[in-house]
Amino acid sequence: MSLDRSTQPPTPVAPLPAADPFAGEMRRFYARTAGSLSELERARRHLPAGVCSNFRMMDPHPLFLRSARGSRVLDVDGHEYIDWGLAQSTLLAGHAHPAVIEAVRRQVGSGTMTCYPHPRTADLAALVCERFRLDLVRFVNTGSEATQFAVRVARAATGRDSVLKFDACYHGNGPEFWLGKPETDLPAGAPEWMGQEIYSAGIPRALVSKTCLAEYNDLESVRAAFHEHPGEIAALILEPVVFNLGVLLPRQGFLQGVRDLCDREGAVLIYDEVKMGCKLGLLGAGEYFGVPADLVAMAKSIGGGFPIGLFGGRRDLMEGIETRNVKHVGTYAANHVGLAAAHATLTEVLTPGNYDRMFAVNQTLADGYREIIARAGLEAHVVTAGASGSMFFSRGPVHGVADFKRTRLDKWQRFWIGMLNRGVLPQAQGPEDIWTVSVQHSDDDVETTLRAFREVAPLLA
Ligand SMILES: Cc1ncc(COP(=O)(O)O)c(C=O)c1O
């Protein structure tokens, strides 16, 4: 997922010289997606870059999708794709899951929102508190709200201002998260935000002045950050498994080390489970790894395709919303549609039986990819976590952002275009992104995907 490609508007000109063996694939892509390109041109008349989130700016152009159902999406040119991107890994339920749609349909008939509490709010709160081991919770609409309010609660509880995050890790729109260590020597194919210190124009330096940086999977860097900012850090926020630099798994002992440092330094540990939440299994990351956070932020998969998120955790911290004057407000918070969708998703869709199936499908997909990689002699490997996975174009392991930058990021677009040309949307939008298996993906989807990859793999050698 690219954070900002705003200096690189989609271009209708194929960037490859004709002699490049991939040029044929590019020509095929342009021919197949002429309708998307013309939709983009139309959209750009009134929408900056023709899209409503910079993540949707793609090189050479995004697909314009007309409809989505189950594991499939349909583009404006009439091509169907097996969708492993699933709306930036939101749809563990798959597209338009019948149970979710039915729950929403029933709810819409009796109102979509009132800005007064609905009885289902307490039901859903009880359900998520039990399932994700939270004392108290508040509902929001997006992951960005969830992470920002979690940080606000932590700041209020500790009386400190600073936030520690990991370089190049994404936590949504909160300006304090848009700081990184700029890479001066950007490798080919690297997303351009990696070359920027503040990832977007329009974020004053003052708004990132309370952000401290460390490196994921490098406990020493966390220790150093606490050492450099004694008594200042309110919270450390991280994705326990990073799902925004491909899939990065925590090294043995890393999460416990982080937990211990937060305890020693009096900082709140926040798990950002907006993207990875629900992907590892029924319970939250705290249970999965045996290392609980103090607060968690969730969104995406819990809503089954409808906007709802949450932040919650330790009672003494969350009580600040009642007792310490921590303001959390939102017109659409706990709107009836989101509540209905989340309730159906958590009770009827994300069930133990469905998890078994998703994990089995993911295993078959990953094993198939690995076999083809080995046969083609590619410098690539696959990493999985629960229902998700990612492909790295490197032989060596990828533990952190430095390893990630050393992968052959330039190969990613070829993988992407080659697979799209064969009716497979192999993952969400960029080399930093991942794939996800939904409850509606089938073994047939895997077979078709692997057939496509068998043809694409030689183009990546
Ligand atoms: C880890 C993480 N945190 C927060 C967010 C922000 O969520 P939203 O786009 O719903 O605001 C995202 C979105 O991709 C995410 O991946």
CATH number of the domain where residue 248 is located? 3.40.640.10
The answer to whether residues 341 and 383 belong to one domain is no
Rounded to 10°, the helix 23-32/34-44 angle is 70
Q: Is the CB of 151 under 6 A from ligand 1?
A: no
The answer to whether residues 32 and 139 belong to one domain is no
- 12 within domain boundaries: no
Q: What is the pLDDT of residue 18?
A: 67
- 233 within domain boundaries: yes
- 270 within domain boundaries: yes
The answer to whether residues 322 and 380 belong to one domain is no
- 407 within domain boundaries: yes
Residue 272 is a catalytic residue: yes
The answer to whether residues 278 and 377 belong to one domain is no
Question: Cα dist. 58→8, 54, 406, 413 in Å?
Answer: 9, 9, 22, 10
Q: What is the pLDDT of residue 3?
A: 37
**What does the block give as tokens for 332?**
């659409």
The answer to whether residues 210 and 136 belong to one domain is yes
Cα separation, 243 vs 220, whole angstroms: 22
User: How many domains does one find in the chain?
Assistant: 2
Are 383 and 249 in contact, with CB atoms under 8 Å apart? yes
Angle subtended at Cα 379 by Cα 378 and Cα 384, rounded to the nearest 5 degrees: 100
Query: In this structure, what is the dihedral angle of CA atoms 279, 283, 288, 291, given to the nearest 10 degrees?
Result: 120
The answer to whether residues 345 and 202 belong to one domain is yes
**What does the block give as tokens for 44?**
């750009």
Cα separation, 101 vs 444, whole angstroms: 24
Are 117 and 338 in contact, with CB atoms under 8 Å apart? no
Where the chain has pLDDT below 70, the residues are: 1-18
Are 235 and 269 in contact, with CB atoms under 8 Å apart? yes
Q: Is the CB of 142 under 6 A from ligand 1?
A: yes
The answer to whether residues 160 and 303 belong to one domain is yes
The answer to whether residues 382 and 297 belong to one domain is no
In whole angstroms, how large is the CA radius of gyration of the chain? 22
Q: What is the pLDDT of residue 16?
A: 60
Q: Which of 165, 275, 279, 300 is catalytic?
A: 300
Q: Whose CA is nearest to atom 12 of ligand 1?
A: 172
Q: What is the pLDDT of residue 43?
A: 98
The answer to whether residues 201 and 289 belong to one domain is yes
Q: What is the pLDDT of residue 21?
A: 73
The answer to whether residues 142 and 84 belong to one domain is no
Q: What is the pLDDT of residue 37?
A: 97
- 14 within domain boundaries: no
The answer to whether residues 222 and 310 belong to one domain is yes
Are 137 and 125 in contact, with CB atoms under 8 Å apart? yes
Q: Whose CA is nearest to atom 5 of ligand 1?
A: 172
Q: Is the CB of 85 under 6 A from ligand 1?
A: no
Asked which of 327, 349, 371 is the last residue of a domain, the reply is 349
Q: Closest Cα partner for 164 from 173, 154, 156?
A: 154
Asked which of 349, 383, 404 is the last residue of a domain, the reply is 349
- 248 within domain boundaries: yes
> The CATH number of the domain where 424 resides is what?
3.90.1150.10
Cα separation, 142 vs 92, whole angstroms: 16
The burial class, CB within 10 Å (0-12 / 13-18 / 19+), for 235 is buried
Q: Which of 272, 294, 433, 445 is catalytic?
A: 272
Q: Is the CB of 143 under 6 A from ligand 1?
A: yes
User: What residues make up the domain containing 144?
Assistant: 98-349
- 226 within domain boundaries: yes
In DSSP terms, 298 is beta-bridged to 273, 310
Q: What is the pLDDT of residue 411?
A: 92
- 16 within domain boundaries: no
Alpha-helical runs (H) found in 21-142 = 23-32, 34-44, 86-89, 98-108, 119-132
Structure letter (DSSP) for residue 321: H
Asked which of 317, 349, 381 is the last residue of a domain, the reply is 349
Pocket test for ligand 1, best of 56, 170, 296 (most atoms within 8 A of CB): 170
Determine the distance separating the centroid of ligand 1 and the alpha carbon of 173, expressed in angstroms.
8
DSSP states along 192-257: GGGG-SBSSTT--HHHHTTEEEE-TT-HHHHHHHHHHSTTTEEEEEE-SSB-SSS-BPPPTTHHHH
The answer to whether residues 266 and 293 belong to one domain is yes
